[in-house]
Each structure stands twice: as structure tokens, then as C-alpha cells.
Amino acid sequence: MSDEELATFVKAFESGTPTPAVDPEDIRRMWEFMNRVRAERRDAGVHGLGAVNARLYKDICRPGVNLVAVWVRTSLVEFLHRSGTLQHWEPGSNYEKRVFEVADVYPMRIGEFDGEEFLRQVGVAEK
């Protein structure tokens, strides 16, 4: 994504345009990548995700994807997961699949997010 595309996205988002829907598989791939990088950094004694070159994100997503939209939606999942709002899930579970499916289309506008509705749409994790 070029600087111009990023600036256009940010300007639209700040003006209230919702984040475009994306493929849930791109969210899953970015989620897994972010967690892998975080774990590798933690093993090296560094905490947090830190700066990651956007080209690495681009390499894990399908061609032509709106990378910023995937990142925004993946960051939502990350925030909900780290805050303990999402139930624990097993990789590959129906609950995990549902989290990514809802995150790919859930209405996202700056300053507006109904966490309870998001969780209602996701449903309950399998036992």
C-alpha cells in the first residue's frame, strides 16, 4: 500500500467512512503472524510487537488486499483478545473461525464500536 493509499484510507476513516470488509482468512493470517512475531521478540527479551515492515504484512495476505483494513480489523481482534473480552479458543475451532468471520464485516467507524453486539454475533465458544 502506498503512502497515498494509506493517507486516503485514514482521511476516509477519520471522516466516518466505515472500514471496508476484508477476507477473514487475511485476518487470521495477520493475527497468526503478529502473534508469532510477538513470541519471537519476547523470546529475544523484547516486549510488544514493535515496528513491522508493511511488506511483511503484504506477503502474508492475498494479493490486492486493503492492508490497512486488514490491520485495523486484526487489531480489533487483538485488542479484544488481550483485554480478555473474547473467550479462549483453540486454533482451528469454530469459535476462532467465527471471531474472524465477524471481524471481517463488523461495522467499524472511528469512535463507534458496540462490543456487546460484536460478541453476540460471534456467539459462545465450544466447550
pLDDT digits (tens, 9 = 90+) for 38-58: 787 666 565 555 555 566 777
Q: Alpha-carbon distance 105 to 20, whole Å? A: 8
Q: Is position 72 within any domain?
A: yes
Its pTM stands at 0.80
Q: Residue 126 gets which letter from DSSP?
A: -
Q: Alpha-carbon distance 92 to 31, whole Å? A: 13
Give Cα separations from 113 to 80, 81, 103, 110 (angstroms): 12, 15, 12, 8
Q: Which domain holds residue 27?
A: 3-122
112 — phi, psi (to 5°)?
A: -130, 120
Structural domain count, the chain = 1
Residues of the chain with pLDDT under 70: 1-2, 41-55, 125-127
Q: Is position 127 within any domain?
A: no
Q: Do 28 and 78 contact (CB within 8 A), yes or no?
A: no
